[in-house]
Amino acid sequence: MNENLKTNFKVFFQEFSSYCSAKNSNAKLLAVSKTMPLSDIVALTEEGQKMYGENYAQELRDKSLENQNNHAQDIEWHYIGQIQKNKIKYIVGTAKLIHTVDSYEKAKIISEISEKKILQQNILLQVNISEDSNKAGVPAIDLKHLIPKIKSLGSIKLDGLMTITENFKDPEKSRDCYRKMKALGRDFADSFDKERHDLSMGMSNDYKVAIDEGATIVRIGTKIFGKRKKIL
């Protein structure tokens, strides 16, 4: 299984690298490893992949601990799932970057836990750029008021923005949303703690369009790991 996975990864990484080179992009590849065993992650780490995105707080915690105890691989964990307030304690300090902060209340809890752990937690604000009522995220119109409030909190660093769009069959349908995200990143560039702010956007079906529009992190699951069973 690991050999097939490694082959899939090598094929995709060549495609990804070639596209980035053609577009003069420095986008980073975040492998979405939710529900996948740590053995698969270790196999890809041996191929040079370092960044992994997890969707479930306890799974993130458990994989991180398992890696520390049994493998000691140089893995950079990211959290890309919905944030539940009572599980933030599992995420802070484990994830290098939390992509899905969508309220001041959650940012405040992250700040408080970070302060207790004596660390600086890097975060992104999730934006509901498509204004889809079924999607999480902050309405773009609210960023002007929300960003200064979050910036006033201690022990967190606001690195940029993130969005999730609808999984269109035609990736071109995502372009307008990603173009709007790029504009937002430019508008609020002076508000971010990172000199070159991050835009986390684009998945397996539309990552090329996201790169066209300035993505710095693309979140790839299916093209690396294949389709996976849903957790009920």
Q: In this predicted model, what pLDDT tens digit does every residue of 18-59 receive, in sequence order?
A: 999 999 999 999 999 999 999 999 999 999 999 999 999 999
Give the pLDDT score at 72. Answer: 76
**Average pLDDT, integer, range 204-209:** 97
Cβ atoms of residues 210 and 21 within 8 Å? no
Give the pLDDT score at 229. Answer: 66
Give the pLDDT score at 134. Answer: 84
Residue for token pair 């773009």:
140
Give the pLDDT score at 177. Answer: 97
Beta-carbon contacts of 10 under 8 Å, excluding residues fewer than 6 positions away, are 47
On the question of pLDDT at 232 being above 60, the answer is: no
- Distance, CA of 43 to CA of 193 (rounded, Å): 33
Cβ atoms of residues 208 and 171 within 8 Å? yes
pLDDT band at 1 (very low <50, low <70, confident <90, very high): low
The residue ranking higher by pLDDT, 168 or 93, is 93
90 by DSSP, 3-state: which?
Answer: helix
Could you tell me how many helices (H) and strands (E) the chain has, helices first?
Answer: 9, 8
Give the pLDDT score at 99. Answer: 98
Q: What is the pTM of this model?
A: 0.96
Tell how far CA 120 is from the center of its chain. Answer: 17
Per-residue tokens: 84 = 């539940």
**Average pLDDT, integer, range 79-83:** 97
- Nearest CA to 138 among 109, 163, 156? 163
- Burial class (CB within 10 angstroms; exposed 0-12, middle 13-18, buried 19+) of 154: exposed
- Distance, CA of 205 to CA of 168 (rounded, Å): 8
- Distance, CA of 153 to CA of 146 (rounded, Å): 11
Ordered by where they begin, the domains of the chain are: 2-29+79-225 (3.20.20.10)
- Distance, CA of 55 to CA of 207 (rounded, Å): 19
- Nearest CA to 62 among 96, 81, 35? 35
Alpha helix (H) ranges present in 36-154? Answer: 38-45, 57-66, 88-91, 104-117, 143-151
pLDDT band at 70 (very low <50, low <70, confident <90, very high): confident
Average pLDDT over the chain reads 95
Give the pLDDT score at 199. Answer: 98
**Average pLDDT, integer, range 160-167:** 94
pLDDT band at 228 (very low <50, low <70, confident <90, very high): confident
Helix (H) or strand (E) holding 72: none
**Average pLDDT, integer, range 82-86:** 97
The residue ranking higher by pLDDT, 231 or 174, is 174
The residue ranking higher by pLDDT, 130 or 21, is 21
Give the pLDDT score at 149. Answer: 97
Give the pLDDT score at 230. Answer: 60
